[in-house]
Structure 1
Amino acid sequence: MCRRVLKLREKNLVILIFAFFTLACFGGTFFLPDFWDLGGSEKLSAHVPVRMFVPDAGAHGQGVDGDVHKKDDSDRLWDKIRKNFLAKPPLTVRRDEEQFPVTPSPLPANPSLNKKKSDGVGGGGGPSVGRSADDEESKMRRMKIVQMMQHAWSMYEKHAWGENELKPISKRGHSANIFGHSKMGATIVDGLDTLYLMGLTEEFARGRQWVKESFRFEANSDISVFEVNIRFVGGLLACYALSKDAVFKDKAVEIADKLLPAFETETGIPYAILNLQTGSRKNWSWASGGCSILSEFGTLHLEFAYLSNITGNPVYLQKVTRIREYISKMERQDGVYPNYLHPSTGRWGQRHTSLGALGDSFYEYLLKSWLQNKTDALAKSMYDEAMKTVMDRLLQTSRNGLVYFAEMKNGRLEHKMDHLACFTGGMIGLGAEHSDDKEKHMKVAKDIGKTCYESYDRTATKLGPEAFRFEDSSEATTTRSQEKYYILRPEVIETYFYLWRLTKNNMYREWGWQAAQALEKHCLIKDGGYTGIKDVYDAHSAKDDVQQSFFLAETLKYLYLLFSPDSTLDLDRWVLNTEAHPLPVLV
């Protein structure tokens, strides 16, 4: 009897030990960081130090060479990365690659097999001393961005193919009023050149086939001339410039020709809205008594100039040149450009100036038109004058030293900066080399980049609000509910990209990586795509259920370029339109 009791105790002891080890294994599987699941089944943590997942960057930049166990762990982690990345069929270049030659980025070798000492890279706050522009860490991050693009695209293909955008939670199509509620495949056209640059040839081929066979620019209601130009015309022209496939050029010409009636005004300033069926033209009802908007009619030049270049038809360039010449001769109260101009009377509307919404890309296209064509002296002189004025009148510094661009209404400053205005850090940095005071302009560019980073870092999600303010004790934050949302916007990452290219300070890559992690943590829908969120200050924010087409066109493209060699897109040879579509430098 005693022996039977002893056996029972032994069994219980064995069961207890087994349960302990099972619990330990279970905990290790589900609670230790498993970031590099490139199949998209895991979310990134925005709060876990990046160095935990990087085989070549231990604490204080010393790597993992000193501990054989850490080295073994590193090798196993790298094997897992490669295994997950290769889970999908390998990318292949099709036989018709003459039309779109793409070379997929190769997988890097195991870094522990060919490692060099690295100094000064531990915290990511200083220049990339001792680190190449395309080290193993950057390759891994770039690989992750490609996986994000594949997920966003594949979910769109699965749930909303041919629709303008995707509702990733509802798993159906979405269309905003800017597209006229017609199914025109905005995400396809907007995202194609990103696929091309990433070497995703099969996805690109399917998108190209849809453009060739199914794309019809036949909106059954009003469309936005500005949005159609930057997303559709710009996207198609970028694909043509990269691939030399005439399908894209022909479709771009078809669209541009249908936009031309919008320019038929007394001043040449186009209307904002066009109905393709009736030919009627108008402006937004809320736009200062029937005015056209500065950022909309001022953001046509790059695309239309390139159209004239590749077609030999001067009409496109003539239309946008007339706009430029008209506004260059107009007097401006306070020296700044108001956001509204009436296309019939030729008079400025409400006295409101902003480098964010309503004004932003007008200034961008002044600089980039000159970068596209160095003989465009008018664009350069207008840009230089505009930057001097906005720096004198709108550039402000907060109590704690944060630099920002305020808005001006009726001669008075409103200490508010839009997320959209965060592109200015990249723009001013890009123009600094060609300014009369390079040092001043680069300082402003870096300061704006820092402020926009703070607008992200001061939220619970590490994603930035639609607008942020500098008032009372609040800096780079907002308490207004209508400004707390984030809709997958690219402007902050855009500035990180340009500042990285211009300075090679690894801090900008670290900031961009933090944003990528936050996107995965808060915006990823595992079986649906990516969604915006309604409150960046709430770690469990409600979702808006829209995967914007510009998320594929801009946000993911800028992240990819941020972690890519400069040769992936040489800024001496290419200029990016305001939707991040690359167009070639002409002169």
Structure 2
Amino acid sequence: MLSVRRRGFFALFPAAAILLLFLVTYLREGVVTVPKLSGRLGGLPSGDEEPTFWARLPVHYPPSHIRPLPTGKPVRYPRVQAATFPVEKDPDARARRRERRAIVRDVFHKAWLSYRELAWGADELAPLSGGTKNPFGGWGATLVDALDTLWIMNLRPEFDEAVARAATINFTSTDLPELNVFETNIRYLGGFLSAYDLSGDGRLLRKAVEVGDMLYKAFDTPNRMPIARWDLHAAARGAEQVAGKALLAEVATLSMEFTRLSMLTGDPKWFDAVQRVADAMAAQQDSTALPGLWPLEVDGKTAVFNSGSVFALGAMADSAYEYLPKMAALTGGRLPVYRRMYEKAVDAAVKHNIFRPLTPADEDILIAGNAHAKEHGIELEPQGQHLACFWGGMMALAARLFGRDEDMEPARKLVEGCIWTYRAFPHGVMAEAFTMAPCPAGAVAGDDECRWDEAAWKREVLRRAGKDPDAAGSDAEADAIIKKDRLPEGFTSISDRAYVLRPEAIESIFVLYRVTGREDLPEAAWDMFTAIDRVTSTELANAAVRDVTTPETPEQKDSMESFWLAETLKYFYLIFSDPELISLDEYVFNTEAHPFLRPLK
């Protein structure tokens, strides 16, 4: 086990132990100023490391200057986690929590052992056939993505074996014609950095530098904007590159990982690269068609972030917003621009994107939807997405960090909206995407205009289906659509009926629980976990399902993305763990649920 090896290392080399203690002290400050740190930890040989393949390539468009990491004392943010957790005071409740945690761990371990036996080193295990899939470079996405989960769940022999295997990954070779920079960043770079922050094993930081050097090459463009779908083969041959069209999330979700890598190595080049993107976003935030939010598509070639009419909170935009308060936490508040961007974005989203739906029991909940800029103004598209369920947790975290107490109520209602949506579907599992009938703008709990009205719901079902709600026989036609499309009450359409093992709902329940200590939230999480495991469990692991609206058991797909082990099961495990395990006052999670150390003083 790694812990045993560390004790032996300290016994043999006291000077190395002193050095490691010194470095860990500075790691918790958030910045390490010793360059080439990776060769001096985890039993690696001392001495300078050779530059990686990607670092040795010629640079076509070097930056005119490299911005240093911010310095000075970090902001003293308020405590994020609740002062007390009432459920922890009940011995029976604590015993129940530990039992549930063990069950979650068993589900993870079963999937991990199957991956280890049948797909070791591949990106994904196919959980029905036992085959392999390689959509993320073929470098072992599940292996790297799950490293910190192994550590958190105290599966140390499995962690040691996985680190040894991960240390052999060759990031210069792949069969993919192009690389998704965003996915590579959050899974591989995020995975290595988090596992290093938790374990201190220098092999992980060395691999993080290797991945960081590779992804940094995607910024070698005339205006230093990154290429989202990147031909790394051409880059490796020395070809010149130009950034192009990209989705907002793809270019705005690199900041946490690049900044943490700079903090750990003392090399500011990665921080400088992503801060250029943030500066462009900040400069254009007030000039979009919906000031405060950015449109879905951006133009990397011209660095234009303010041209477009669709403003979403879920797919294709989600983590761009998520990283604003999290970057503030990661940098200790030394860059006020992230708080300013967040506050403008959340104020606009609450006004234009977040809505209260009509529900059968008049539940006081909120759903995060889309907004469209039209000639007559901003128009709500009342579409809910599983991906958008992270908004409640993000708002709760930011409400505590920034002292925005007024945001706690919408944060709570967004989380409860996702809990309610899970329960509304027949198997207790939420569909990927759906629409609902929104209450009139500004309606609140108790308003007559937001009370359940079956006729109003059916009219919205007809409108969503492109039918005339005033035509003769419209009520019968609405009933036919509801039956054919298997619409639970309140839902007007379901555009994607799958559940693909996503984590966003449990993520927000976990964050809200850590922030408030509410006793009902672990119970909601347990209901969610048992429902998910019931429909996704296979002989080998867990599988995505095609349609959660069917009365019979949903058909499973031969797919298990790495985030099932990296995110979903990690959040379930943590909500049933001691609240001080990965405290939100010490760590901040990237969008793939990889915890990074925050500066503490």
Q: TM-score, normalised by structure 2?
A: 0.73
Pairwise CA distance, 1:350? 3.0
Which residue does the alignment assign to 1:55? Answer: none
1:203 to 158, 182, 190: 158
* Match of residue 386 from structure 1: 345
Over 3 Å counting, the alpha-carbon distance change for 1:132 and 1:333 in structure 2 is: farther
Q: Paired residue for 1:108?
A: none
Distance across 2 between alignment mates of 1:324 and 1:478: 37
SS at match of 2:596: strand
Cα offsets for 1:97-127 (capped at 9, x unmatched): 45999xxxxxxxxxxxxxxxxxxxxxxxx97
Q: Deviations over 1:312-339 (max 9, x none)?
A: 1110010011111111111222212111
Distance in 1 of aligned mates of 2:594 and 2:326: 12
* Alignment correspondent of 1:3: none
**1:573, 1:99 → 2: CA distance?**
28
Instruction: Output one character per residue of 1:323-368: Cα deviation in whole Å (capped at 9) or x when no partner.
Output: 1111111122221211111011233443111110111111111100
**Correspondence for 1:104:** none
Aligned twin of 2:324: 366
Amino acid corresponding to residue 157 of structure 1 in structure 2? R
Partner in structure 1 of residue 583 of structure 2: 570
SS of equivalent residue, structure 1 residue 541: coil
Q: What pairs with 1:314-329 in structure 2 (closer than 5 Å)? A: 314-329=268-283
Aligned-partner residue type, residue 190 of structure 1: D
| Equivalent in the alignment of 1:558 | 571
- Kindly indicate whether the alpha-carbon contact (under 8 Å) linking 1:164 and 1:187 is maintained by their aligned counterparts in 2: yes
1:94, distance to aligned residue in structure 2 (A) = 5.7
User: 1:63-74 residue pairs with structure 2 within 5 A?
Assistant: none
| Alpha-carbon displacement from aligned partner over 1:1-46 (angstroms, at most 9, x marks no partner) | xxxxxxxxxxxxxxxxxxxxxxxxxxxxxxxxxxxxxxxxxxxxxx
Superposed CA deviations along residues 532-568 of structure 1, whole A, max 9, x for unmatched, are: 0001112411111111100000000000110111211
Q: CA deviation at 1:129?
A: 8.6
Deviations, residues 357-400 of structure 1 (Å, cap 9, x unaligned)? 11111111110000111212111111111111111221211233
Q: Which of 95, 108, 114 is matched with 2:4 structurally?
A: 95
SS in 1 for 2:167: helix
**SS in structure 1 at match of 2:230:** strand
Q: Give distance in 2, aligned partners of 1:100 and 1:241.
A: 19
1:453, 1:492 within 8 Å by CA — same for their partners in 2? yes
Range 406-415 or range 272-281, more displaced: 272-281
Which letter does structure 1 place at the counterpart of 2:262? S
Q: Deviations over 1:144-165 (max 9, x none)?
A: 1111110110011111111100
1:409-488 aligned within 5 A: 409-410=372-373, 411-435=378-402, 437-438=404-405, 440-471=406-437, 472-473=457-458, 482-488=495-501
Counterpart in 2 of 1:535?
547
What one-letter code is carried by the residue in structure 1 that aligns with 2:303?
A: G
Q: Could you say which residue in structure 2 is the equivalent of 1:343?
A: 300
Q: Distance in 1 between matches of 2:208 and 2:9?
A: 17
1:398 aligns with 2:354: no
User: How do 1:119-134 and structure 2 match up within 5 A?
Assistant: 128=87, 131=90
Distance 1:368 1:450 in 2: 22
Distance 1:266-1:544 versus aligned 2 partners, 3 A rule: same
CA contact (8 A) 1:100 1:244 kept: no
Q: 1:435 to 1:309 in 2, by over 3 A?
A: closer
Q: 1:188 to 1:222 in 2, by over 3 A?
A: same
Secondary structure of the corresponding residue to residue 498 of structure 2: coil
C-alpha distance 165-453 of structure 1, shift in aligned 2 (>3 A)? same
Q: CA RMSD, aligned part only?
A: 2.3
Cα distance, 1:520 vs. partner? Answer: 2.1
Which structure's CA Rg is the greater one?
1
- Inter-partner Cα distance in structure 1 for 2:354 and 2:205: 41
Sort the Cα spacing of 1:132 and 1:499 in 2 relative to 1 into closer, same or farther, 3 A.
farther
Aligned to 2:126: 167
Q: How does 1:133-212 map to 2 (within 5 A)?
A: 135-176=94-135, 179=136, 182-212=137-167
| Secondary structure, counterpart of 1:333 in structure 2 | coil
- Aligned residue for 2:388, secondary structure, equals helix
Tell me what 1:269 maps to.
225
* Greater CA drift, 242-251 or 478-487: 478-487
CA distance in 2, matches of 1:560, 1:282: 43
Instruction: Report % sequence identity.
Output: 31
Map of 1:232-271 to 2, 5 A cutoff? 232-271=188-227
| In structure 2, distance between residues paired with 1:510 and 1:267 | 50
Deviations 1:47-69 (A, max 9, x none): xxxxxxxxxxxxxxxxxxxxxxx
- The corresponding residue for 1:27 is none
| Unpaired stretches in structure 2, ≥5 consecutive residues | 11-84, 438-456, 459-486
What is the deviation of 1:214?
A: 4.2
- Write the distance in 2 (CA, Å) between the matches of 1:100 and 1:495: 40
Is the 2:189–2:211 contact (alpha carbons within 8 Å) kept by the matching residues of 1? yes
Q: Does the residue aligned with 2:4 lie in a helix, a strand or coil?
A: coil
SS at match of 1:329: helix
Letter in 1 for 2:372: K
Amino acid at match of 1:234: G
Amino acid at match of 2:220: E
Q: Distance in 2 between matches of 1:267 and 1:478?
A: 45
Instruction: Report the 3-state secondary structure (helix = DSSP H, G, I; strand = E; otherwise coil) of the residue aligned with 2:218.
Output: helix
Q: Cα offset for 1:480?
A: 5.2
- Structure 1: runs of 5+ lacking an equivalent: 1-91, 102-125, 284-289
Could you tell me how far apart the structure 2 residues matched to 1:566 and 1:213 are? 35
Partners of 2:2 and 2:160 within 8 A in 1? no
Q: Which amino acid aligns with 1:271?
A: I
Quickly say closer, same or farther: Cα 1:217–1:418, change in 2 above 3 A: farther
Answer with 469-478 or 389-398: which moved more: 469-478
- CA–CA separation in structure 1 for the residues paired with 2:151 and 2:93: 20
Distance 1:537 1:282 in 2: 44
Moved more, 136-145 or 347-356: 347-356
Deviation at 1:266?
A: 4.5
Letter in 2 for 1:242: L
Superposition deviation, residue 482 in structure 1:
4.4
Counterpart contact for 1:534–1:544, Cα < 8 Å: yes
Query: Retained in 2: the 8 A contact 1:470–1:476?
Result: no
Equivalent in 281, 286, 290 of residue 334 of structure 1: 290
- Partner Cα distance (1:200, 1:515) in 2: 24
Counterparts of 1:18-97 in structure 2, within 5 Å, are 95-97=4-6
Aligned length: 460
| 1:519 to partner: Cα distance | 2.3
The CA deviation at 1:496 is 0.6
Q: Is residue 2:542 matched to residue 1:545?
A: no
Q: Please, which of 313, 316, 327 is the counterpart of residue 355 of structure 1?
A: 313
Deviation at 1:174, TM superposition (A): 1.4
Cα offset for 1:409?
2.3
How far apart are residue 132 of structure 1 and its match? 6.3
CA distance in structure 2 between the partners assigned to 1:207 and 1:253 by the alignment: 18
Letter in 1 for 2:387: L
Asked if 2 retains the 8 angstrom alpha-carbon contact of 1:454 and 1:476, the reply is no
